[in-house]
Chain A
Amino acid sequence: MNFSLLLPSGLLALTALILPLLIHLSRRSEQKPTDFAALRWISAQLRPRRKLVFQEILLLILRILLLVALAIFLAKPTSMHAVPPKHWVVLVPGADISGIKNLALKQTSEWHWLTPGFPDFKDTPPASDVPVSSLLRELDALLPANASVTVVVPETLTGLDGERIRLGRKVDWKIVPGDMPAKTRTEKSQPIRLAIRHDEKHNGDAIYFRAAHAAWQTEQKVSEKQALDSADILSPIKPDRSALVWLSVGELPVDIRDWINKGGSIIVSKQTVVPELKSGVAAWRNEQGKVLTIAAPLGQGRIMQWQQELKPEAMPELLDADFPEKLKSLLQTKSLAPTRAFAKSQTPLIGGQAGPKALQSLQTWLALLIALLLVLERWLANSSRRRSAA
């Protein structure tokens, strides 16, 4: 059990300690004359020495204690009290419960479902669409540091996210037969609405992209087929375009940059000057490891650049059959992370932040102490006054 102060600046109230010290400085005896008839035998006319003498030490100590307790009260003392270690068993919905008896788990454990609110095991698990990894992190954060957790998971997990589950404690990861139902993907990948802008010199290079566009259209339904928007660099870009191939030299015009900032994806030729790409990373390497494309973010959008001349002799991949697919994945703005994996491969890693200590405020007890001290102080102060008055 150790103490900590949540608001240490409350200790500034300790400066009030000067008040009782000043009050108890014995100065009053010099002000009030004492009757003393045997005055003539006091010979030496000594000046009173300025020595710090305190009167009524007991009362002074009480008052100082009272102020110290008040200051600590203001500083919000808390204690991290030790909770007896608990063992939690959480079951992921979808796990086969019939085999649980064979897992040799302690009967004293608390059994819960891994669903929002962590309902008791005896209730039926409520249906929820909160991801499993998020729930595990929440549980880890809620439980005291010394609690141990066993997680019973089905063989296949749904509701994962891009980050591997990383918890503050080691959990017992029990895999039982079972399967979580895969979620139907609500958002489908949007078709790319491509525009091509090229100058005279790069007219020949544009044919690869026109071909890729034509290849994409063959997969689409008739109603979703799009016309190609290929034009000179001076012609404006319609706002419904989501991707642009820019084949020119020199810097990008301002209106194009604005368009990228709003969320467009652009892929530019090697001769185009784009300062942001100095910090770009490789987006596409060929089988020999040669970098074909680099990419960098710009505003909400993304900017990419070919690192090779768009000629088949410099970049044979242009003629490959899967070039349209590769181009599509490059220009696809959103990619969906996989959310479904084998539980075997998703054993939580250790190294997240440890769960918070259980904090208990000591202010109630301190308030009682202050009240007690106050009563004592009042009693002592009044009784000493009575004594001196009598």
Chain B
Amino acid sequence: MSIIDLIPIDVRARLKALRLQARRISGAQGIGQHQSRSRGAGLEFAQYRAYEPGDEPRQIDWKLYARSDKFFVREAERDSPLIVWCLIDATASMGQSDAANPAWSRLQAAKALTACVIELALKQGDLFGLIAVNDVGLRVINAGSGTRHRDLCLLELHKLKAEGAWPNETQCRPIWERIGANTLVLLLSDDYDDACVALAERLAAARREVLSVQILTAEERDFPFQGGHRFRDAETDTELLTDAAASRSGFIEQFSFAKKTLSARFAASGINHVEYVLDQPLDAPLRKFFLSRNSQHQESV
């Protein structure tokens, strides 16, 4: 079976400018590129401590020994890897796409964004995990690193289908079990389920750094329908027959109000929130989150 690359070639080329960053100090063990609380070998001086049996002799600060006649070990702050969790909404509403490009659904965009983040994490040696959420069954790939782990995640992504609704509280428990504190959580959803937004708020409140990408179709933004139209909600199976042209202005007004409310809620919880419409380039939301400072500087010049 051949697996088609989820990331378009041009987007893959632009990924080089991006760098996964977290605002908080990383809590993971091991050696990485992010600031952490754990101390050890490193460039940045942290403290002296008394020699303990088992310390390597070359870690002893010999000049201080000459002055004080005691063994002191020089400790530095160690850079740790980051843990990135991709939380993918896989409910039925994510299967929606534009009539102009029926193959490019919300879920497809979410899969591609996840693949991008996995590539970035792999490049930086960070750990990455994957959770797909719907009430058919939570799919979890534990945080890990390395190319084998990446391939495992990509396989899982390919199998993913948009079905069902948002799960209830009990079904959501594995999310809390897996996603630890001081990790980066990327939520890819349409944010139409209130439970999903609530989950993001609670994750943020519990010391997880949440980044939210709201994936919208171009039809939801523009409402280009004409004449009588029969609309259907895939999750609740409700139908609505209405005159599209007449209800356009009302919809756009109410929908933008809802979006404004949502981003206000996210901002209040300290969640970094961006909107991604399906006809935009795929890396647009990632550039807002992860564009490294040097690159930002270059772009502004």
- A-side residues, CB < 8 A to B, are 26, 29-49, 51, 53, 390
Q: How far is the CA of A115 from the CA of B250 in the complex (A)?
A: 90
For the A-B complex with A33-B230, A39-B231, A44-B242 known, give 20 more contacts whose Cβ atoms are closer than 8 Å.
Answer: A26-B227, A30-B228, A33-B231, A33-B239, A34-B225, A36-B219, A36-B220, A36-B232, A37-B96, A37-B235, A38-B220, A41-B251, A41-B258, A42-B247, A43-B250, A45-B240, A46-B246, A47-B243, A48-B241, A48-B242
Is the CB of B280 closer than 8 A to any CB of chain A?
no
Q: List 9 A-B contacts (CB under 8 A).
A: A29-B230, A34-B229, A37-B96, A40-B192, A41-B258, A44-B246, A47-B243, A48-B229, A49-B228
Q: With both chains docked as a complex, state the minimum distance between the C-beta of A353 and any C-beta of chain B, in angstroms.
A: 60
Q: Is the CB of B233 within 8 A of A36?
A: yes
Q: Which residues of B contact A35 (CB under 8 A)?
A: 95-96, 232-234
Known contacts A35-B96, A45-B240; A29 and B192 CB within 8 A of each other = no
Q: Which residue of chain A has its CB nearest to the CB of B234? A: A35
Q: Is the CB of B96 within 8 A of A30?
A: no
Q: How far is the CA of A40 from the CA of B254 in the complex (A)?
A: 10
Known contacts A44-B250, A390-B102; A39 and B238 CB within 8 A of each other = yes
Q: Which of B102, B192, B254 contacts A37 (CB 8 A)?
A: B192
Q: With both chains docked as a complex, state the minimum distance between the C-beta of B164 and any C-beta of chain A, in angstroms.
A: 13
Q: With both chains docked as a complex, state the minimum distance between the C-beta of A23 and any C-beta of chain B, in angstroms.
A: 16
Q: How far is the CA of A45 from the CA of B228 in the complex (A)?
A: 11
Is the CB of B255 closer than 8 A to any CB of chain A?
yes
Is the CB of B108 closer than 8 A to any CB of chain A?
no
- B-side residues, CB < 8 A to A, are 93, 95-96, 99, 102-103, 190, 192, 219-220, 225-235, 238-243, 246-247, 250-251, 254-255, 258
Q: Which residues of A contact B251 (CB under 8 A)?
A: 38, 41-43
Q: Which residues of A contact B241 (CB under 8 A)?
A: 30, 47-48
Q: With both chains docked as a complex, state the minimum distance between the C-beta of B102 and any C-beta of chain A, in angstroms.
A: 7
Q: With both chains docked as a complex, state the minimum distance between the C-beta of A211 and any C-beta of chain B, in angstroms.
A: 107
Q: Is the CB of B231 within 8 A of A34?
A: yes
- The interface centre, meaning the residue of B227, B242, B246, B258 with most chain A CB atoms within 10 A of its CB, is B227
Q: With both chains docked as a complex, state the minimum distance between the C-beta of B92 and any C-beta of chain A, in angstroms.
A: 8
Q: Is the CB of B227 within 8 A of A41?
A: no
- The interface centre, meaning the residue of A30, A34, A35, A40 with most chain B CB atoms within 10 A of its CB, is A35
Q: How far is the CA of A47 from the CA of B230 in the complex (A)?
A: 11
Q: Which residue of chain A has its CB nearest to the CB of B242? A: A46
Q: Is the CB of B243 within 8 A of A49?
A: yes
Q: Which residues of A contact B232 (CB under 8 A)?
A: 33-36, 39
Q: Which residues of A contact B240 (CB under 8 A)?
A: 39, 42, 45
Q: Is the CB of A32 within 8 A of B227?
A: no
Q: Which residue of chain B has its CB nearest to the CB of A30? A: B228
Q: With both chains docked as a complex, state the minimum distance between the C-beta of A26 and any C-beta of chain B, in angstroms.
A: 5
Q: Which residues of A contact B226 (CB under 8 A)?
A: 26, 29, 53
Q: Which residues of A contact B103 (CB under 8 A)?
A: 390
Q: How far is the CA of A43 from the CA of B251 in the complex (A)?
A: 7
Q: How far is the CA of A40 from the CA of B247 in the complex (A)?
A: 12
